[in-house]
Structure 1
Amino acid sequence: MTTSSSDQLTGELAKQQIERFVARFEPNYGYLACHCALPLVLTPELVNYIRVQFLLNQEVPWIAEADLLLSELCRPVGYELYAMTPAIRSHLLAQFETSEFQHKFGRNRLKSVAQLLMDYVTYLMGTHPPSRQGEFQAQQWAAMVYLDQHRTQAEEEIATALQGLVNRGKNGQAELARLQRLIQEFRPQLSQYDSLMKFAESLGMWLKGKIPPDASQSYGVHGVNLSLNPVTQLEGFPAMETFEFEVVTIGLGAGTEIELEPFEFEVTTIELKPTGWFRRKPELIINRHQQQAYGFTEDLGNGVELEMVAIPEGSFMMGSPETEQGHREEESPQHQVTVKSFLMGKYPVTQAQWQAVAALPQVNTELKPNPSYFKGENRPVERVSWYDAVEFCERLSQYTKRQYRLPSEAEWEYACRAGTTTPFHFGETITTDLANYHGNYTYGSGSKGKYAQETTPVGSFGVANEFGLYDMHGNVWEWCADHWHSNYEGAPTDGSAWEDESKNDNDNDNNWRLLRGGCWGNVPGSCRSGSRFIYVPALWHNVYTFGFRVVCGCAWTL
């Protein structure tokens, strides 16, 4: 897909999301969304401030503030922090140029919103310590570029920040990518500044790992000399790390490079809205929004591919609280774990992928070519032991020259939660519209649903978590690398697998391993993010519920 067609698709998706939002509520909600599209980051306080200052006469109710922030137009980016995608922001801001908006609000309404935002950010900068000023600068620039009297100052500040980051070399690369992305968002307002836009284009090429043809050229922007010379002249400088860009190149050793490419996917969350008498009966509302992540595709031959997703490093609280429905002692104590970045299979390993790898040369043990009970190329492979899964990874590693393995238990839970702390990455409950489990049972305020009594093709529900992973709840249990431990006392806090050397030296098959995620035959409580299951590594082949997904243990950087 070309860049232009990709942009058109992204723009059309944004338009449809906005139309669904307005149709779900009322046209006045659209006015609030447009006014809130100017800030790069939204807070409940800022949304309230905008509504009170501009829309009290438009019959926009106070509840619209929460409805906007919790809709598919916004995504959480921190505690009580929300952001719209560039495509949604662009489409909403364009409404201020329409005759309808200008007739209703006047020709200068967008400038008025920009001035309010600038005053608001200036107030925040004056009431917070210097260490937090950087958090507000981009928000301030977003307002300044719409104000004639401040646009030149914004350009000068952006140019100064750009050259300062270029001079930092590799240490400034992630921030450079963020700033380059901001300039692209500000392009309609900065288009008169030809030098700044040309430098941003060259910077974009460099961030993709290419040397731009004008790399040695300097651009003067209000006395600031912009040039890529400080980085392009560094011998051996790796052009591999970037932040939310078209392609990211990561190195795995001599001769093994991977290009990460962006992909779009739909994320779903479940909202429980009180209804009925005394608001005691919760209504289950499924909210959907588009998200972007990075990944690459491994060619297994004969048209079979393995899709891998980049999982960013981070920290999370592993385990479940004692107050969580379905909590068991082995999920305690909750503890903080810091996980390094890695790549994980977008789906559980399918039967087609299994057959492709099982045909490769044996490393340690034999693999049955088609062990699954429920047949289907795109269904997850099942009836595989822990040893089978390890052999699969070793054959795949030998074939690709990249190190594949099973995920550690901490990596699996971190990837499943994807920043959430609820029982499921969907939210407080689960539904058979989104996952394959025993639908005759319920969890929390959820309802009964379908019971398929078999596996379903991977990704068939069409929704992923915030990291871009599918089928993390239900379908098949997934093997992890760790030995089983009855609780988390003494567990590693660095995301590594918790293995006991004494058990590794023991040749018998009673050294329990563990699985995560639940399966098609489990009650929903067993499919929670924190749920754990124990089994012997040498599987009895009448178990139709055990599968796995792979990890490529390569670190990468946003």
Structure 2
Amino acid sequence: MMGSAASDPAADALEQPRHAVRVRSFAAGKFHVTRSEWAAFVRATRRATPLGCQWTGKEGPDGEKKASWNDVGFSQTDRDPVVCVSWQDAKDYARWISRRSGKRYRLLSEAEWEYASRAGITTSYPWKAGASHEFANHGTEECCGGLASGRDKWVNTSPVGAFPANAFGLHDMHGNVMQWVEDCFAPNYAQTPIDGSAYVNSEHIEATGDLADLNGKLTCAHRVLRGGDWAQQVRWIRSAARSFAPPPGPGPALNAYRSGGVGFRLARDVR
């Protein structure tokens, strides 16, 4: 069952109606793609590192304009998830890994991501207790900023595997960094497939309320983000929570949108 129950006090209109989805077998990475893994890709392909990344620790009026995956303005280890990568960056990495391995790696679909995140449960989080810094790296109770508390010793990103895995053996499905998925952004769940595949129809958006600024724009000018990040409130790290980028308003287009709170993990087809 995909989406949030009507009884969930944190439910958002983007997460409803709750609906049944059939997901085929697939493999998902235990961890986010790390800085060291991304660095190997950059070296092997001699890939340029563009500047410009939002939500970083870079200070000054031009701080974000100078930020990049290897200069985010806060401390990271090689085992931290790579951030400041665009949706197209993630796609290019998956394509490179596929060529090297002879297996098809890709981004998860939104439905696959939620299935993997829930790991067989129907509640908001895969642990019995409510959201806690003992189980995930997330932010303050008020938007928006990182918070170190308990097991969560990191104000910003944490090394992958620092928190317990869910029942499927996957780490950091909740918090740490948001994860790009394959899907174009559909404000209406009724538009999305029920066979577990990604929604990739480029259609004009019809939205109301806070998303009215998106009216008339194409769904595939935005891509879905899942999982919440180190600076977000607990409601954004629920299994059902949906986000997307780029956000409404002025700012970079999709292929130039990078954030210090956004990374990715890979999926692999299983025959």
TM-score range, shorter chain: 0.7 to 0.9
SS at match of 1:552: strand
Matched-pair contact (CA < 8 Å) for 1:367–1:388? no
Pick from 237, 240, 263 the counterpart of residue 547 of structure 1.
263
Q: Matches of 1:509 and 1:408 in 2, distance apart?
A: 15
Q: What's the counterpart of residue 255 of structure 2?
A: 538
Q: What's the counterpart of residue 515 of structure 1?
A: 225
Matched positions, count: 225
| 1:339 to 2:50 alignment | no
Alignment of 1:37-436 (within 5 A): 317-361=1-45, 366-368=47-49, 371-372=69-70, 373=72, 374=74, 375-427=76-128, 429-436=130-137
One-letter amino acid of the structure 1 residue matched with residue 224 of structure 2: L
SS at match of 1:416: helix
Q: Cα offset for 1:496?
A: 0.3
Q: What's the counterpart of residue 184 of structure 2?
A: 483
- 4+ long deviations beyond 3 Å: 448-452
Q: What's the counterpart of residue 145 of structure 2?
A: none
Greater Rg over alpha carbons, structure? 1
SS at match of 1:478: strand
Q: Matches of 1:485 and 1:510 in 2, distance apart?
A: 9
- Higher-helix-fraction structure: 1
Matched-pair contact (CA < 8 Å) for 1:517–1:531? yes
Matched-pair contact (CA < 8 Å) for 2:202–2:220? no
Q: Cα offset for 1:439?
A: 4.3
SS at match of 2:93: helix
Q: What's the counterpart of residue 36 of structure 1?
A: none
Unaligned runs of 5+ in 1: 1-316, 442-447
Residues 368-404 of structure 1: CA distance to partner in whole angstroms, max 9, x if unpaired? 3971414320000001110110011111111111111
Q: Cα offset for 1:512?
A: 0.8
- Structure 1-normalised TM-score? 0.38
Residues 454-509 of structure 1: CA distance to partner in whole angstroms, max 9, x if unpaired? 10100112x11110000111000000000001121132111000111568xxxx99
Alignment of 1:6-17 (within 5 A): none
Q: Matches of 1:421 and 1:467 in 2, distance apart?
A: 14
Measured at CA, do residues 440 and 452 of structure 1 come closer, stay the same or move farther in structure 2, by a change above 3 Å?
A: farther
- Higher-strand-fraction structure: 1
SS at match of 1:330: helix
Measured at CA, do residues 367 and 479 of structure 1 come closer, stay the same or move farther in structure 2, by a change above 3 Å?
A: farther
Q: Cα offset for 1:359?
A: 2.6
Q: Cα offset for 1:426?
A: 1.2
SS at match of 1:343: strand
One-letter amino acid of the structure 1 residue matched with residue 181 of structure 2: C
Q: Cα offset for 1:420?
A: 0.3
SS at match of 1:489: helix
Q: Cα offset for 1:425?
A: 1.0
Residues 296-350 of structure 1: CA distance to partner in whole angstroms, max 9, x if unpaired? xxxxxxxxxxxxxxxxxxxxx0001122121100101111111111111100110
Q: Matches of 2:88 and 2:98 in 1, distance apart?
A: 15
One-letter amino acid of the structure 1 residue matched with residue 158 of structure 2: T
One-letter amino acid of the structure 1 residue matched with residue 221 of structure 2: N
Root mean square deviation, CA, Å: 2.4
Larger RCO, structures 1/2 (Cα 8 Å, 6+ apart): 2
Matched-pair contact (CA < 8 Å) for 1:509–1:538? no
